[in-house]
Amino acid sequence: MDAQGRGRADNIDPADQWVLNPSTGEYELRLTPSAPQSAVPGPRRAAPANAGAGRGRSAAPEREQERDTPLPGMPGQVPPPRRRRGVPEDDPLPGRRRSRGPEKKKSKAKKVLLWTGGTMAFVMVAATAAGYLYLKHLEGNVQTTDVGTAGKSGFSKDEAFNILIIGTDKRTGKGNEKYGDAGSVGHADTTILLHVSKDRSNATALSIPRDLVVDIPDCPTKLPDGTEKVIPGTQDVRFNTSLGQFERDPGCTMRTVKEVTGISPDHFMMADFNAVKTLTTAVGGVEVCVAKAVNDKDSKLKLPAGKSTVEGEQALAFVRTRHSFGNQGDLDRIKVQQQFLSSLMRKMASSDTLSDASKLIRLAEAATKALTVDTGIGNVSTLKDVALELKKVPTKNITFMTVPVIDNPADGVVRKTVIVNPVTAPQVFDSIRDDVSFTSVKQEKAKEKAAVAARLKGPKSEASEVRVQIMNGGAPGGSAQETLSYLQNDEGVTKSENAGNAPAELAKTTLEYAPDQADQARRLAAIMGLSGAALKPGKSVTNSQGLPTMTLTLGKDFKGAGVPLTGPAKAPAVEGQSTADKVQCAK
């Protein structure tokens, strides 16, 4: 808005007229009247450098210079002030108001605009500075760990992402030594792999049992003193020892998750006992529900049947107790923890929290003090981006589930540990890796999937008519030649050739083809086990003989020649899965 629109004609922004009142120690808005214009035509004299000082406005030589620039056709002078209507031609001072009684006051509306405009400008500047300082303060709260190649170096708002959430059993912090095992090195007591879909329509929170028997790989680790060493892996051990044991860091837990599930965590967030206490207190408590009254002597949890609100020590007792629910094992405790996290998510996303500035500040303080994260997301700005992306996911489409497991036959009669269910678990892992939702998603996405699937429908060429060049875009070395041999010798795709490495690596295998090659593309998709999503209508290229050909680029998902690459169209139903919008009572 220009100066005239604000009721002034001298280009003075009210936001520039805030001055400190020495009597009150506060800033006040002082609007000075416009200086009278000179009655003499021609260039004005430059104002002194300190003109206006002490009146709440500073001199602006550049602005004066701009005003005094001669107009085209009038070198060396500026036009005189315009004469107001009704002022006689012989008025000796045409640029000065004539005394015709008291000056008419500005309207009340204009005064309001002047004051609110100046106030808002001042507040915005102050808020920007304060906000920046506060963000730097919060950033100082966050602890970081360098996990090297186990995680990513940054965060992308345009891609699906996986965050490994780790709750340790380390007893550091006020009041936590009473929970026993005070010397714990901080094992991975509670671990959740959170996958957020690329389109933010859904998310999956996959709990990993601490008593799951796994093989822990070798782990390059940075020690507290800055030195690096590789911690040797171990076989057939509990998952929770992937952290803390033998000085293993969260990067080792991330590598173990990849070893077990085939899913690569991009980042991690780790919290200890204090996080549960401080976060629940910051939001004013979390509502939980139990099917029957609880009086657990070990965790000190005491709740009546039905709904209750817990925070602080009581909230920690709720997520730690195991002897009051189900068969008193870790798998039933995981269900209770998932119900608790669902309730915490609902509370954090509620209007009561989002509209309460003091509650948000307490939450920001508690969250940043409670977290240890990898250096890839170790600044508050990036953590804010992660939170905003997660906030886009509807709670009804956030699915909680546990890795499908069976009792470990090596335990004998006493069942203490579990192993991955070899039949049902791979389907779950594949669905998460292929970004398939475990809940219903938007209708638009369903239509898009239908359109992609339609690429596979239609006539198919004979294998001998398929012309394709094969490139390696992230698959293991030698995969292009291996595929070429398979296609030519086993499938009769004789018009194929190895084109070497692709210009860039791809996460998923793709087949690009021109519209008139659709029949060939469908045949090759059937041979290779490619999904409709892998087919990319585009243009053909020429092969070594100068003939038009399709391009098959083997991505990081390539599993070997002859192994189908078709991802699951629909995620499997998992026993015990739930969504974050449902209120459940622990049993």
Question: Using CA atoms, how far apart are residues 27 and 119, in angstroms rounded to an integer?
Answer: 10
pLDDT band, very low/low/confident/very high, at 128 (cuts 50, 70, 90): low
Residue 321 maps to a domain: no
Entry pTM: 0.63
- Selected residue with higher pLDDT from 303 and 1: 303
Same domain membership, residue 166 and residue 249? yes
Q: Provide the token pair at 220.
A: 């390059």
Same domain membership, residue 165 and residue 263? yes
Are the C-beta atoms of 510 and 504 separated by less than 8 Å?
A: no
Residue 200 maps to a domain: yes
Are the C-beta atoms of 29 and 115 separated by less than 8 Å?
A: yes
> Taking 90 as the threshold, does the pLDDT of residue 104 lie above it?
no
Same domain membership, residue 160 and residue 136? no
**Partners of 536 in the beta sheet?**
512
Q: How buried is residue 148: exposed, middle or buried, by Cβ count under 10 Å (0-12/13-18/19+)? A: middle
Q: What is the CATH classification number for the domain harbouring 392?
A: 3.30.420.590
- Selected residue with higher pLDDT from 379 and 96: 379
> Taking 70 as the threshold, does the pLDDT of residue 507 lie above it?
yes
- Selected residue with higher pLDDT from 569 and 472: 472
- Selected residue with higher pLDDT from 302 and 104: 302
Same domain membership, residue 211 and residue 169? yes
CA dist 184 to 165, 171, 225, Å?
19, 7, 20
For residue 360, the model assigns a pLDDT of 82
**Partners of 302 in the beta sheet?**
295
Q: Write the secondary structure of 185-205 as one string of H (helix), E (strand) and C (coil).
A: CCCEEEEEEEEECCCCCCEEE
DSSP state of 487: I
CA atoms within 13 A on the CB side of 98: 12
Residue 320 maps to a domain: no
> Taking 70 as the threshold, does the pLDDT of residue 477 lie above it?
yes
Closest CA to 511 of 456, 538, 551: 551
For residue 586, the model assigns a pLDDT of 84
Q: What is the CATH classification number for the domain harbouring 497?
A: 3.30.70
pLDDT band, very low/low/confident/very high, at 55 (cuts 50, 70, 90): very low
Q: How far is CA 543 from the centre of its chain?
A: 43
Same domain membership, residue 384 and residue 246? yes
For residue 107, the model assigns a pLDDT of 53
Q: How buried is residue 193: exposed, middle or buried, by Cβ count under 10 Å (0-12/13-18/19+)? A: buried
- Selected residue with higher pLDDT from 212 and 273: 212
Closest CA to 256 of 226, 213, 223, 222: 213
Q: What is the tens place of the pLDDT at every residue in 63-75? A: 334 433 333 334 4
Q: How far is CA 10 from the centre of its chain?
A: 47
pLDDT band, very low/low/confident/very high, at 363 (cuts 50, 70, 90): confident
pLDDT band, very low/low/confident/very high, at 131 (cuts 50, 70, 90): low
Same domain membership, residue 266 and residue 390? yes
Question: Using CA atoms, how far apart are residues 378 and 313, in angstroms rounded to an integer?
Answer: 28
The neighbour count for residue 9, using CB atoms within 10 Å, is 11
Are the C-beta atoms of 182 and 318 separated by less than 8 Å?
A: no
Strand-strand pairing, 495-501 and 467-472: parallel
Same domain membership, residue 466 and residue 400? no
pLDDT band, very low/low/confident/very high, at 173 (cuts 50, 70, 90): low
- Selected residue with higher pLDDT from 510 and 103: 510
DSSP state of 472: E
The neighbour count for residue 86, using CB atoms within 10 Å, is 8
Are the C-beta atoms of 320 and 299 separated by less than 8 Å?
A: yes
Residue 576 maps to a domain: no
Same domain membership, residue 242 and residue 169? yes
- Selected residue with higher pLDDT from 91 and 263: 263
- Selected residue with higher pLDDT from 533 and 230: 230
Which one of 26-35, 119-128, 398-407 scores highest in mean pLDDT?
Answer: 398-407
- Selected residue with higher pLDDT from 572 and 404: 404
> Taking 60 as the threshold, does the pLDDT of residue 92 lie above it?
no
Residue 52 maps to a domain: no
- Selected residue with higher pLDDT from 252 and 444: 252
Closest CA to 432 of 565, 535, 560, 568: 568
Residue 58 maps to a domain: no
Which residues 6+ apart lie within 8 Å of 327 measured at CB?
Answer: none
pLDDT band, very low/low/confident/very high, at 40 (cuts 50, 70, 90): very low
pLDDT band, very low/low/confident/very high, at 369 (cuts 50, 70, 90): confident
Percentage of residues in the chain with pLDDT exceeding 90? Answer: 43
Of 323-332, 436-445, 538-547, the least confident: 436-445
> Taking 90 as the threshold, does the pLDDT of residue 180 lie above it?
no
pLDDT band, very low/low/confident/very high, at 5 (cuts 50, 70, 90): very low
Mean pLDDT of 83-112: 49
- Selected residue with higher pLDDT from 452 and 467: 467
Residue 389 maps to a domain: yes
**Of the residues 372, 405, 438, the one at which a domain ends:** 438
Question: Using CA atoms, how far apart are residues 145 and 376, in angstroms rounded to an integer?
Answer: 9
- Selected residue with higher pLDDT from 422 and 44: 422
What type of residue is 37?
Q
Are the C-beta atoms of 529 and 565 separated by less than 8 Å?
A: yes
Mean pLDDT of 498-511: 92
For residue 441, the model assigns a pLDDT of 63
| Backbone torsions φ then ψ of 244, nearest 5 degrees | 85, -45
Mean pLDDT of the chain: 79
Which residues 6+ apart lie within 8 Å of 2 measured at CB?
Answer: none
> Which structural domain, as residue segments, surrounds residue 516?
449-554
For residue 453, the model assigns a pLDDT of 72
Are the C-beta atoms of 401 and 428 separated by less than 8 Å?
A: yes
Which residues 6+ apart lie within 8 Å of 111 measured at CB?
Answer: none
Same domain membership, residue 412 and residue 465? no
For residue 312, the model assigns a pLDDT of 92
For residue 224, the model assigns a pLDDT of 76
Q: How many domains does the chain have?
A: 3
For residue 246, the model assigns a pLDDT of 92
Question: Using CA atoms, how far apart are residues 139 and 50, in angstroms rounded to an integer?
Answer: 41
For residue 533, the model assigns a pLDDT of 84
Which one of 178-187, 431-440, 539-548 scores highest in mean pLDDT?
Answer: 539-548
Are the C-beta atoms of 146 and 376 separated by less than 8 Å?
A: no
Residue 243 maps to a domain: yes
The neighbour count for residue 114, using CB atoms within 10 Å, is 18
Same domain membership, residue 242 and residue 365? yes
Q: Find tokens 């009792």 and name the residue.
A: 407
Same domain membership, residue 188 and residue 129? no
What type of residue is 321?
T
Q: What is the tens place of the pLDDT at every residue in 243-279? A: 999 989 999 999 999 999 999 999 999 988 888 899 8
Same domain membership, residue 481 and residue 433? no
**Partners of 161 in the beta sheet?**
196
DSSP of 489-520: IIS---EEEEEEE-SS--SS-EEEE-GGGHHH
What type of residue is 115?
W
For residue 205, the model assigns a pLDDT of 94
For residue 177, the model assigns a pLDDT of 54
- Selected residue with higher pLDDT from 495 and 454: 495
